[in-house]
Each structure stands twice: as structure tokens, then as C-alpha cells.
Amino acid sequence: MRLRAGLRVLRRTATEVQVGTDPRWAVRLPDLTPAEADLLQSVDTRTDLTEVTRLVAGRDVEPDRVRALVDVLVEARLTTAGPSRADLRGPASVDAAVWSLLRADGNGADVVRARADRVVAVLGLGPTGLGIAVGLAAAGVGTVLVDDERPVRSTDVGVCGYRWADAGSVREHVTARLLRDVAPHVSTASDRAPDVVVLVEDRVADPRRGPVLVAGGITHLGVVVREADTVVGPFVVPGAGPCLRCLDLHRTDSDASWPTIAAQLHAGDVADESGLVAAVCAGLGAAAVLAHLDRVPGLAPGTTLEVAQPDAVPRRRTWAVHPECGCTALPASLVGAPG
């Protein structure tokens, strides 16, 4: 039995320690003797808490007192039967450590291992799309399909991964190489339908793509790079909330000229992306996809996050199903099982 991965025992006073710092699980152990506090502070995630005799060796602490303190840690769900990421290496092991704190059984490695069987497609590989794809691969997603035959531009170079040497090369080719750089075992090809499709689009969502995905029962995340901000969302699970077409219909209700404007935006050139906004949106997008794959609460249906320059602070908006869309009333044979 050990402390869960990532936890530290911190000294508060001569007679009190604190285990962890996150308010979701951190606990204080007060009313200790100085010797007991010293013993607890010597404990780390490699310490076997069942070896009471070894723990008290050379210390003025009774074995029964150690057992009682360990029981407190067990009741607080701060212990696990063993290391949660012993056979994981690289960036995915960090996710395993976090999940070892979040899961009741402390086995965060199981969450990451399950991602290896998942397939995610990312369409649109500007800096934001690249960042999402790399983030998913680094988190352990086994197959990341990428699609964007446009060239890397000098304005794409920056924090999300593109370098000056990549300028002029095909985006999807560079992305595939970068995915293998961070996750050597990731696949970029699959005969399976993706579990999630991420649509990263310039200036406005393509009105043709969303309905096709909804009709096919394919879960998808919309991301739109606009003039000076990027919108992440909605996360569309067909039949369970508003779709991309719903948002367009709401915009048309507010502005009758929106379809005319949208058509011009769709026919326009590639949008430039602020590196800092792209980095924020890449993290938000990858997190939304991982939450769905891990079957935990994530970006709620009908929610969009607008990340604007210069502060890059996400602003939440909520959208309802549009009564004229019909996306939630499609026959089950068309929509398929959500997820």
C-alpha cells in the first residue's frame, strides 16, 4: 500500500502535516507528536505503508499509532494498492498519475490504457488542430487520423509545434511526423470509424459537414478560428443536444443576413491564428475529446467556449436545440448509439 501518485506530505507545524494540496482530496493530520510528524513527512509514493516495523525503526513512534495514521489516509482515499503508472512512460504517465487521484480504486493507468483502443480524427491542421492532435497522441490515444493537404505557412509556426523548416510542407505530413515524435506507437491510419471527429475550420463552420456527421451518428467537436478569437464547441453527440446547424439557425434568427455572410466567410482564405489563443484552444479541445473517451463529464452539450485576443480567457456560451433543425428527432437507425 502506497500514497497515490503525485501526492506529497507537507509540514504545516511541528505537530501537523498536510497530504496533498488539491482541495478535492488534501487532508490535514493535526495533533501529532514531532516524531510522528517527522515519520509522515518521510513518506513518499514509493513507501510501503504496510511495513510498519521499518517505518518506526529508530523513531519514537508506536507501531499501533502508525497503523492508526495509515487508516486515516486509507479512509481519506489517499492510498492505493500499488503504483498506478509502473508500466507507463512519457507524457501519458502524467495523466495516469492524475487519474490515480481521481479514481476510487486509484488505478489511473487503466484510463490511459483504454485510450490506446480509441480512434480520433482531426480535420484541419492549423496550429489549433495540430495542437489538439498532438495533445491526444501524447495523452495515449492509439489512433489519430489527420487530414489537411494545405501547406504549412510561416504564420503557422509557433508554440503548437510547426517550425520554420516545416513551411511549405503539407500540413498532414508534418503533423503525422510530430505525432510520432511525441508518441512513437501512435497510428495515423485505421479502417474503423472514428470515435470522435474534430472539425477545425476557418472563419465559419462548413454547413455541409455537421449534418453528415449527425446523420452518421458520429460524435464530433466543432472548432472555428475567426477574426480575433476561436470558438471551441459545441461537442455534438448526435441525438443528445444542439448540433452545428442549430447554432447557424440561431444566428439566422438573430441576423437574417447571416447565411449570406457565412457563405462569403466559407469561400474566403485561410484564417491566421494567434499562437497563444491556439495553444489555449488546443488544450480545451483535446480535454473535451478525452473526457468523452474516458466517459467522464466534459464540455456540456450546447456549450461553446470563445477564446479571444488579447487575454485568451475562455468565455462560455450555452445554446439550445433549434426547433427547426430536427437533429434530435432523427430515427435511431440514422443517428446510432451516442458515444
- SS3 readout for the chain: CEECCCCCEEEEECCEEEECCCCCCCEEECCCCHHHHHHHHCCCCCCCCCCHHHHHCCCCCCHHHHHHHHHHHHHCCCEECCCCCCCCCCCHHHHHHHHHHHCCCCCHHHHHHHHCCCEEEEECCCHHHHHHHHHHHHCCCCEEEEECCCECCHHHCCCCCCCHHHCCCEHHHHHHHHHHHHCCCCECCCCCCCCEEEEEEECCCCCCHHHHHHHCCCCEEEEEECCCEEEEEEEECCCCCCCHHHHHHHHHHHCCCHHHHHHHHHCCCCCCCCHHHHHHHHHHHHHHHHHHHCCCCCCCCCEEEEEECCCCCCEEEECCCCCCCCHHHCCHHHHCCCC
> How far apart are the C-alpha atoms of 124 and 94, rounded to whole Å?
27
- Provide the CA 39 distance to its chain's centre, in angstroms: 37
Among 283, 306, 274, which residue's Cα sits nearest to residue 132? Answer: 283
Q: Which neighbouring-strand residues pair with 220?
A: 197, 236
Which residue carries 502524467 as its cell?
A: 94
Amino acid at the residue 248: D
Q: Where in the chain is the domain with CATH 3.40.50.720?
A: 116-335
Q: What's the pLDDT at 5?
A: 87
* 116-335 has CATH 3.40.50.720 classification: yes
State in Å, rounded, how far the first CA of the chain is from the last one: 36
Q: What's the pLDDT at 75?
A: 95
Contact predicate 85/15, CB 8 Å: no
Q: Which of 12-16, 94-98, 201-205, 289-293 has the lowest mean pLDDT?
A: 94-98
> How far apart are the C-alpha atoms of 200 and 322, rounded to whole Å?
23
- Provide the CA 208 distance to its chain's centre, in angstroms: 27
Q: What's the pLDDT at 81?
A: 82
Give 339's pLDDT tier (boundaries 50, 70, 90). Answer: very low
Among 221, 259, 254, which residue's Cα sits nearest to residue 237? Answer: 221
Q: Is the pLDDT of residue 240 over 60?
A: yes
- pTM of structure: 0.91
Give 268's pLDDT tier (boundaries 50, 70, 90). Answer: confident
Q: Where in the chain is the domain with CATH 3.90.930?
A: 2-80
Q: Is the pLDDT of residue 26 over 80?
A: yes
Give 272's pLDDT tier (boundaries 50, 70, 90). Answer: very high
Q: Is the pLDDT of residue 107 over 90?
A: no
Q: What is the CATH number of domain 2-80?
A: 3.90.930
% of residues, the chain, pLDDT over 70: 95
Q: What's the pLDDT at 330?
A: 55
Q: Which neighbouring-strand residues pair with 300?
A: none
Q: What's the pLDDT at 40?
A: 97
Contact predicate 221/198, CB 8 Å: yes
Give 332's pLDDT tier (boundaries 50, 70, 90). Answer: very low
> How far apart are the C-alpha atoms of 15 and 238, rounded to whole Å?
56
Q: Which of 43-57, 142-156, 197-211, 272-286 has the lowest mean pLDDT?
A: 43-57
Q: What's the pLDDT at 82?
A: 62
Distances (CA, A) of 196 to 176, 267, 296: 18, 26, 15
Tell me what the mean pLDDT of segment 181-203 comes to.
97
Tell me what the mean pLDDT of segment 122-148 comes to.
98
Tell me what the mean pLDDT of segment 181-194 comes to.
96
Q: Average pLDDT of the chain?
A: 93
